[in-house]
């Protein structure tokens, strides 16, 4: 009989009385240890396979000692860099002896954290139950009034005779017909009143716009007249200035021309005297 077990992340084939080395465990030397991650059990040809583990199966073992494995040298070097590192390592192991292989009967020990959570849930549960009970007590009280009113209405409706119902329906129809006739008459009157009001508004608006246009035209004509007169005055002043400037220029030309003639005669007389 043998089994395949997952211990500390590694799978081992174990048999009763076999000693194996596994990664370091927390248990002290001489203590018993149980492993519940059983993947397969072969019991004299009867094979049980887990999905992924077999429910209820476990393997009982005993911690014999905690030891170290052989030394492994770790050497690192980078050429032309002057870098060299040499380290040694010894992996820690635990030696275990297999005592028994059990197909069923394993019970997991409850975790402390799970137990604390369960206690908290139990303490909070009564409060929630009290709130739900209060809400349930309030809701029926509100609902009981509605059925009574509906039952009373049904009883009164059943007691009324058929003849009274017919008279009520006919009276309602007549009232509805009178209302419809009055509504039609009012609807016929309203459009005529609306048309007259709109016609009055349009005529008043047209008059106001025409009056505004006439006043604006008058203002523009009055404004244009002074502007034309001002233009004429400016033209007259410019003409006067131009005539005065012309007169001054002609007078200056005449004054300058006279000395030129005198100087010319003097120069000719001097030349004649020199020749003589």
Q: How many CB atoms lie within 10 A of CB 57?
A: 23
**8 A C-beta contact, residue 1 and residue 43:** yes
**8 A C-beta contact, residue 41 and residue 55:** no
Least confident of 3-12, 67-76, 94-103, 168-177: 168-177
Q: Is the pLDDT of residue 220 over 90?
A: no
Q: Is the pTM of this model over 0.85?
A: no
- Locate 197 and state its tokens: 């009001």
**8 A C-beta contact, residue 1 and residue 13:** no
For strands 83-89 and 92-102, give the pairing.
Answer: unpaired
- Locate 41 and state its tokens: 């059990």
Domain boundaries, position 242: 226-266
- Structural domain count, the chain: 2
**8 A C-beta contact, residue 107 and residue 86:** no
pLDDT in tens, 56-105: 899 999 999 999 999 999 999 999 999 999 999 999 999 999 999 988 86
191 to 59, 178, 181, 183, 215: CA distances (angstroms): 102, 21, 16, 13, 37
Residue 37: inside a domain: yes
What is the Cβ-side half-sphere exposure of residue 20, based on CA atoms within 13 angstroms? 20
Residue 187: inside a domain: no
**8 A C-beta contact, residue 49 and residue 104:** no
Residue 90: inside a domain: yes
- Nearest Cα neighbor of 22 from 13, 30, 106, 31 is 13
Residue 155 has phi, psi (to 5 degrees) of: -65, -40
Residue 92: inside a domain: yes
Look at residue 153 in the predicted model and tell me its pLDDT.
57
**8 A C-beta contact, residue 20 and residue 91:** no
Residue 200: inside a domain: no
Residue 144: inside a domain: no
Report which secondary-structure segment, H or E, holds 54.
none
Look at residue 261 in the predicted model and tell me its pLDDT.
46
Residue 23: inside a domain: yes
Report which secondary-structure segment, H or E, holds 2.
strand 2-7
- Locate 81 and state its tokens: 């860099």
Q: Is the pLDDT of residue 254 over 80?
A: no
Highest mean pLDDT among 135-149, 170-184, 197-211, 214-228: 197-211
């Amino acid at each position: 009989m043998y089994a395949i077990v997952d211990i500390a992340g590694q799978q081992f084939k174990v048999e009763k009385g076999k000693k194996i080395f596994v990664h370091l465990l927390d248990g002290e030397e001489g203590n018993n240890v149980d492993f519940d991650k059983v993947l397969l059990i072969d019991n004299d040809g009867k094979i049980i396979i887990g999905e992924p583990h077999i429910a209820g199966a476990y393997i009982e073992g005993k911690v014999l000692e905690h030891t170290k494995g052989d030394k492994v040298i770790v050497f690192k070097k980078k050429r032309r860099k002057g870098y060299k590192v040499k380290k040694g390592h010894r992996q820690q192991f635990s030696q275990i002896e297999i005592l028994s292989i059990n197909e069923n009967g394993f019970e997991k020990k409850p975790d402390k954290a799970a137990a604390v959570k369960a206690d908290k849930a139990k303490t909070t549960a009564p409060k929630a139950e009290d709130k739900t009970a209060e809400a349930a007590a309030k809701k029926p009280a509100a609902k009981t009034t509605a059925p009574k009113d509906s039952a009373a209405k049904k009883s009164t409706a059943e007691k009324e005779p058929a003849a009274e119902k017919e008279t009520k329906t006919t009276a309602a129809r007549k009232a509805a017909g009178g209302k419809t006739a009055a509504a039609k008459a009012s609807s016929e009157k309203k459009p005529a009143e609306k048309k007259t009001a709109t016609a009055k508004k349009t005529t008043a608006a047209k008059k106001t716009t025409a009056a505004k246009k006439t006043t604006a035209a008058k203002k523009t004509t009055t404004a244009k007249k002074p502007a034309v007169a001002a233009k004429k005055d400016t033209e007259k002043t410019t003409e006067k200035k131009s005539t005065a400037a012309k007169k001054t220029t002609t007078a200056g030309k005449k004054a300058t021309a006279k000395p030129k003639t005198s100087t010319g005669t003097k120069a000719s007389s001097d030349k004649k005297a020199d020749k003589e």
